[in-house]
A and B are shown apart, each in its own frame.
Chain A
Amino acid sequence: MASTPIDTTDGRREILRRMLTIRAFEETARDLFADGEIPGFVHLYIGEEAVGVGACSALEDRDYITSTHRGHGHSIAKGLDPKLMMAELLGSSEGYNNGKGGSMHIADVDANMLGANGIVGAGPPIATGAALTAAYHDTDDVALAFLGDGAVAQGQVHEAINLAATWDLPAIYVIENNQFGEGTAVDDQHNVENLSETAEAYNIPGFTVDGMDVTAVHEAVAEARERAADGDGPTLIEAETYRYRGHFEGDPQEYRTDEDVSEWREERDPIESFEERLLDRGDIDEDELQSMRETVDDEIEAAVDFARDADRPDPDEAYEDLFTEPAPEIDRFVGDLRADGRGGDHQ
């Protein structure tokens, strides 16, 4: 979404609507996966909505993001269409990636969303590169990388931030500390109190914010964006949040208890707390809120209908899209060469 102001009623309502859309999308994806309609792995964003929406609402449309395994939320926050996302999750050729990417790789380069990523820590170097393009062309675009707490241990993340810091690139790195790197607690993976402390090593600003508070995330990213666009280089932001679901759907989650989850869910849910704030301020009333929830649910239901009715890929498409032009080798191996009699003077 284009920089959505958090200091206007319309802006706050839009921010709430985005968070509700993510929650509804994810709950639906959870059910479709459980029913066997979605193949592969699904990593859900439930509980972390304030981070993606808080960050993207502080960006302009032309800004770039890179995402993580848990990319549905970032995609919706960036303004991607839930219909095309759901179609991708079901492997349709009408999905964002023509059915070649699935949940872990949703991307829309036209929207400057450079992909969810199946490799932990791979997004930050790519965001650094998009920030390099912005600096190279002297635009005031910025690039924001979402990364998980687990990714902070990856060498290429350090390399990416060091490069951006050294070259003063307009980049923002948002660590979503959801307390677990896959199935291991964050404290067992890092030796620092706050993951934002690592910013000191690059001599760039580093902040830890409440990732359950969309306002706090928005404000931190807005400030980082201003700094980046002014040519003052990157910022590292840690948003403390919590994932309500397992690392992946089907994860037995022996590393934590139901009580651990409900402690965050009941006390600090990012959507409920923001709803309460909007109700208190008079930005929205109960009826309008109910109506917003229903509209969102309808939109996700329509997305599922669209995805189920969408075209299935033609098997031949498996051999397309590797290069900008068809590679002769691929034709050779799929048999065209022999089938039409070329490829040597057989006796």
Chain B
Amino acid sequence: MTETETMTVREAIRAGLREEMNRDEDVFLMGEDVAEYGGVFEVTNGLLEEFDERRVRDTPISEAGFVGASVGAAASGSRPVVEIMFSDFMGVAMEQISNQMAKMRYMFGGKTDMPVTIRTTEGGGQGAASQHSGTPHTWIAHFPGLKAVAPGTAEAAKGLVKSAIRSDDPVFVFENKVMYEQEGQVPTDPEFTVPIGSASVEREGADVTVAATQRMVGESLAAAEDLAGDVDLEVIDLRSLYPLDTETIAESVRKTGRLVVADESPLSYGTHAEVMARIVESEFYSLDAPLQRVGVADTHIPFATELEEEVIPHAEDVIEAVRKVA
């Protein structure tokens, strides 16, 4: 029996960071306000005191500089874990992400590793307006040479951050910022990890598969409770966006014949489309109804509460999508 503890997502990630820093001396943290301040979302709170300023480093506000430095640090034998405070700011560092971090191993003929972990936050719901609320993980998942994970539970958050740090490839961990207080049962064994590229079935059901990410996992589980006795939802936490565990979704669709994809990113050309394309390619003849997607209708995230509530998907949007196909 695996020992678990009730933890918030924030505590789970912090525990994952702490365990990996204890395990491997080459692992260090850097980012804006991660040390003395403890991170604006308090994820790294206390780690400066547990370790020291060599292992937990406050950077200047210069994403291109410190993300670029993580590329050089990784290529020279370190294992940097970088926090980009809001994933919207990835744009500032995109040259180093897309042309250097992603391409270096390939362009060097496989002769270097790139063990960088980027932790960053996504999602609306805080009234933070367009530049602090986006969900741009598709940028990274789309780009060859980068891996992207997006946990939907506290357990997955800890397990994935640990796998990301252990990986010799660049891995982006997308943390939904309104999930930090969400609690779950988290294994305490320091060797517990969640493999990158594996989805988890969070709720078994017979009628409709909901493949969800991040906060939409919880919203979909809530939708499943609302629909219980009427429509039996199977809820999958995709957990890893690239690589994507197509087989777990396909297996579920072979059982249910129906698929809803729920992810808080914009709908066009995105994460939803990728999941659906794969299922159509391989499971077309298992499908009994059109596929449905729940996401953000190609808008930026607005400031005013009424406007933000309008565009951010919730359980009722999942229910609506399920109703169309059930």
A residues near B (Cβ < 8 Å) are 64, 66, 95-101, 105, 107-110, 112, 114-115, 117-119, 122, 124-134, 136-137, 143, 155-156, 158-160, 162-163, 166-167, 320-324, 327-329, 332, 337, 343-347
Given A122-B95, A136-B28, A345-B254: A162 and B65 interface contact (C-beta under 8 Å): yes
A96–B109 CB distance below 8 A:
yes
Counting from the closest, the 8 A-B pairs by CB-CB distance are A125-B68, A129-B72, A159-B65, A98-B109, A321-B110, A344-B282, A126-B72, A129-B69
B interface residues with partner A (beta carbon < 8 Å)? 28, 54, 57, 59-60, 62, 64-78, 80, 95-96, 99-100, 104-113, 144-145, 147, 167-169, 197, 242-244, 246, 250, 254, 278, 281-283, 285-286
Are B75 and A346 within 8 A (Cβ)? no
The answer on a CB contact under 8 Å between B145 and A322 is: yes
A160 to B282, CA, bound (A): 46
Q: Do residues B105 and A322 form an inter-chain contact, with CB atoms below 8 A?
A: yes
Q: Closest CB-CB distance, A336 to chain B, in whole Å?
A: 13
Q: Given A119-B99, A324-B113: A105 and B75 within 8 A (CB)? A: no
Contact B65 A105 (CB under 8 A): no
Q: Which of A115, A129, A155, A320 has the most CB of B within 10 A?
A: A129
CA A321 to CA B77, docked complex, whole Å: 18
Q: CA of A320 to CA of B108 in the docked complex: distance in angstroms?
A: 11
Instruction: Give the shortest distance, in Å, between B65 (CB) and chain A (any CB).
Output: 3
A109 touches B111 (CB 8 A): yes
Question: Are A129 and B73 closer than 8 Å at their CB atoms?
Answer: yes
> B residues within 8 A CB of A133?
72-73, 76-78
Give the CA-CA distance A159 to B71 in the complex, in Å: 14
Extra inter-chain contacts (4) besides given A126-B72, A134-B76, CB under 8 Å: A122-B68, A125-B67, A323-B147, A345-B286
Tell me how far the C-beta of B276 lies from the nearest C-beta in chain A, rounded to whole angstroms. Answer: 14
In the assembly, what is the distance between CA of A64 and CA of B246, in Å? 41
Q: Is the CB of B112 within 8 A of A107?
A: yes
Residue on B nearest A324 in the bound complex, by CB: B168
Asked whether A130 lies within 8 Å of B76 as measured between CB atoms, the reply is: yes
CB-defined contacts of A324 to chain B, threshold 8 Å: 105, 113, 167-169
